[in-house]
Amino acid sequence: MSDWIFWFGLAGVLVILEMFSGTFYLLMIGLGMAAGGLVSLGTESRPVQLLTAAVAGIIATYALRRSRWLRPARHDATKDPNINLDIGQTVHVDAWTGDEGEPRTARILYRGAYWDAELQDGVAPHPGTFVIREIRGSRLILALGHP
């Protein structure tokens, strides 16, 4: 059997296995095997083929690891209405507690349970309807405005 058949066959097997894992690392090793196959077309030296496959696989894996391809996008889930469906909902506040210079807080009824609510910075405290802008733990951060 020719060396190039071995290298490209092994690369094909790794690509097929990659479809089951979904991590892209087997694909990078498969690229190294394909590089070994390309070198085998030009030379009969197996050490050169092995070295080329190893170096190409390591470089491809390192490049994948350093790329932003595998890193998830960073989203602030506390403010994202696509993640937390409570953001943008309206609530009614009867009274605020807290002194001047301290965070204004309230205890409100929302979805059948009592929640701690805090007024967003820069908003004047008064009774009325507010919109949930953020959720920090079990505390609702409220602001004026429409959803």
Beta strands in 1-147 (DSSP E): 90-93, 105-110, 113-119, 128-136, 139-143
The whole-angstrom separation of Cα 91 and Cα 131 is 6
Please give the CATH topology (third level) of the domain spanning 90-143: OB fold (Dihydrolipoamide Acetyltransferase, E2P) (2.40.50)
Residue bearing the bigger pLDDT, 134 or 70: 134
For the residues 103-129, what does the mean pLDDT come to? 89
The predicted model gives 101-124 an average pLDDT of 87
The pLDDT of residue 110 is 92
Bridge-partner residues for 134, per DSSP? Answer: 141
Instruction: Return the pLDDT at 93.
Output: 92
pLDDT of residue 99: 72
State the pTM of this model. Answer: 0.52
C-alpha span between 53 and 57 (Å, rounded): 6
Over the stretch 47-89, which tens digit does the pLDDT of each residue have? 999 999 999 999 999 998 888 776 776 777 777 787 888 899 9
Q: Is residue 23 pLDDT above 90, yes or no?
A: no
Query: What average pLDDT does the segment 32-48 reach?
Result: 93
Sequence ranges of the domains in the chain: 3-66, 90-143
Which residue's entry shows tokens 């696989």? Answer: 57
Within 10 Å of residue 86's Cβ, how many Cβ atoms? Answer: 14
